[in-house]
Amino acid sequence: MADIYSIVTSQQLSYEQKVVALAHAAEDTLSVLPMPERTKYYFEKGVICNLNEGNAPYRPRYIMPDYAKAVRQGVKFLQLDPPQNFDELLTFLQVLYRHVPSITTYPVFLGDLDALIEPFITDLSDEEVKRKLRLFLIYLDRTITDSFCHANLGPQATRAGRLIMEVDRELEQAVPNLTLKYDPAITPDDFAEQAIYTSLCVANPAICNDVLNRNTYDRYGISSCYNILPIAGGSYTLTRLVLPKLAALTDDKEHFLKQLLPEAMRCMADYMSARIRFIVEESGFFESHFLATEGLVERDRFVAMFGLVGLAEAANHFANGKKYGTDAEADAVAEQIMETITAFVNEYECPYCEIANHRLLLHAQVGIDTDYGITSGIRIPVGDEPESIYDHLRHSSRFHRFIPTGCSDILPFDITGKQNPAAVLDIIKGAFSLGQKYIAFYASDSDLVRITGYLVKRSEIDKWNSGQAVLQNTTQLGAPTYASAHLANRKVRGV
């Protein structure tokens, strides 16, 4: 009751943010999932974390509607006919986005935006398209007040994609997050260079390795931070294993690898399976929600994301003073940990995950605002980065290979990057050839920064820290993380 009272009386939460917080509080009054004693123990120790999914799951965490299908056939429940022109398309999408649920209550995926738009702008001038796009993107930023919201571009070069990037540079908004799907055999250099230049102006778009990521599913999209998930499906759940808190329970590496880690993984996997069964068998989501009944999502295209965080600190704990990212001993420990985790998820059978062959899929989770001394996913801690950007990316590639549903690195660049996007593209090509799956950039002097995978404005962080209410709830998450993870001290790169 004290927590609910603090939500109701908060002067830093907007009305809408209070409504969402109260809904989560109500859900957490229920207890519908089994919680064996050892699972409860690992929750209490902070080893297992459900990332605020709530105690009674009534919808999948991340939902990836097939927007192209929706545009072709219309949406009966929303009384939307297939759009016939650009204005109708933008209104169609605005209405549809408003009704796509997720863990955040906002849509986390907006589709392959340039591909959706491209057929509708053939008879319009660039200025006409940009004028309408400005209004559309402003609408998204002001109504989807959560930057765990993602739209995709590419890999084909499109006029729509170029114009979206031009408008994005002008508006400097945190929503939507953008990713360019990049394939050197398909994506022209000038299109990729425009994406890099735009990112070094407004921290958008990030670049993903389309060649590697499309091997995971037949059709994929990037949602939320950088989650690689099947279109027309999504993820039931993302629960995470907080590796440093598990490592803190022992100083014996063999005890950690052979007893604690397997037991904690089993507890977490069983908990995730219980969440999935409740969503599928009891919540009624797939029987009643229009996305499912009209074929815009399909139950057998949902997966389960087995998250991990803090690989660096866990490896360092057992590495005799050596540091992950720069010392071979710590990196070898990290590889042992990842091989142990991979072996487990490749064997564990997960219900209702047909598209993943009933297996859990690893995800490098980015962290939350209450994490202290815990580095996102498999990244190198701020301050420990190798001097050479090439060594940094070689190291990342070594560990990205374990992760099929999302991992990334974030690289701030000085002004030399913006002045020479072709050189940055060469770095990307090299990194992707080694197995790097996803890279995000921003300029060291940009107001917009990537916190972990999502975008926040530094000016908005300042407002929140001074006690003012802010429009986007991700600013509330980003402000403490920006400080506690020392993100202002990320190593700035040049070319």
DSSP collapsed to 3 states, the chain: CHHHHHHHHCCCCCHHHHHHHHHHHHHCCCCCCCCCHHHHHHHHCCCEECCCCCCCCCCCCEEECCHHHHHHHCECCCCECCCCCHHHHHHHHHHHHHCCCCCCCCCCEEEEHHHHHHHHCCCCCHHHHHHHHHHHHHHHHHHCCCCCCEEEECCCCCHHHHHHHHHHHHHCCCCCEEEEEECCCCCCHHHHHHHHHHHHHHCCCEEEEHHHHCCCCCCEEEECCCEEEECCEEEEEEEEEEHHHHHCCCCCHHHHHHHHHHHHHHHHHHHHHHHHHHHHHCCCHHHHCHHHHCCCCCHHHEEEEEEEECHHHHHHHCCCCCCCCCCHHHHHHHHHHHHHHHHHHHHCCCCCCHHHCCCCEEEECCCCCCCCCCCCCCCCCCCCCCCCHHHHHHHHHHHHCCCCCCCCEEEEECHHHHHCHHHHHHHHHHHHHHCCCEEEEEECCCCEEECCCCEEEHHHHHHHHCCCCCCCHHHHHHHHHHHHCCHHHCCCECC
pLDDT bin (cut points 50, 70, 90) of residue 15 is confident
What are 284's two structure tokens?
Answer: 């009624």
Is residue 312 over pLDDT 90? yes
Confirm if 482 and 461 have CB atoms less than 8 A apart: yes
pLDDT, position 216: 87
Is residue 14 over pLDDT 90? no
Task: Identify which of 296, 268, 278, 308 has the alpha carbon closest to the alpha carbon of residue 405.
Answer: 308
pLDDT, position 130: 98
The rounded mean pLDDT for the chain is: 95
The count of other CB atoms within 10 Å of the CB of residue 394 is 16
Is residue 2 over pLDDT 90? no
Confirm if 434 and 391 have CB atoms less than 8 A apart: no
Is residue 458 over pLDDT 80? yes
Confirm if 492 and 414 have CB atoms less than 8 A apart: yes
pLDDT one-digit tens code per residue, 320-348: 999 999 999 999 999 999 999 999 999 99
Confirm if 318 and 338 have CB atoms less than 8 A apart: no
Please give the backbone phi and psi of residue 211, each rounded to the nearest 5 degrees, phi first. -60, -45
pTM over 0.85: yes
pLDDT one-digit tens code per residue, 120-149: 999 999 999 999 999 999 999 999 988 899
Is residue 422 over pLDDT 90? yes
pLDDT, position 474: 79
pLDDT one-digit tens code per residue, 165-224: 999 999 999 999 999 999 999 999 999 999 999 999 999 999 999 999 998 888 999 999
pLDDT one-digit tens code per residue, 150-170: 999 999 999 999 999 999 999
pLDDT one-digit tens code per residue, 39-87: 999 999 999 999 989 999 999 999 999 999 999 999 999 999 999 999 9
Greater pLDDT, 16 or 302: 302
pLDDT bin (cut points 50, 70, 90) of residue 480 is confident
pLDDT, position 120: 98
Is residue 481 over pLDDT 90? no
Mean local confidence (pLDDT), 220-243: 97
pLDDT bin (cut points 50, 70, 90) of residue 484 is confident
pLDDT one-digit tens code per residue, 272-284: 999 999 999 999 9
Percent of the chain clearing pLDDT 70 (strictly above): 100
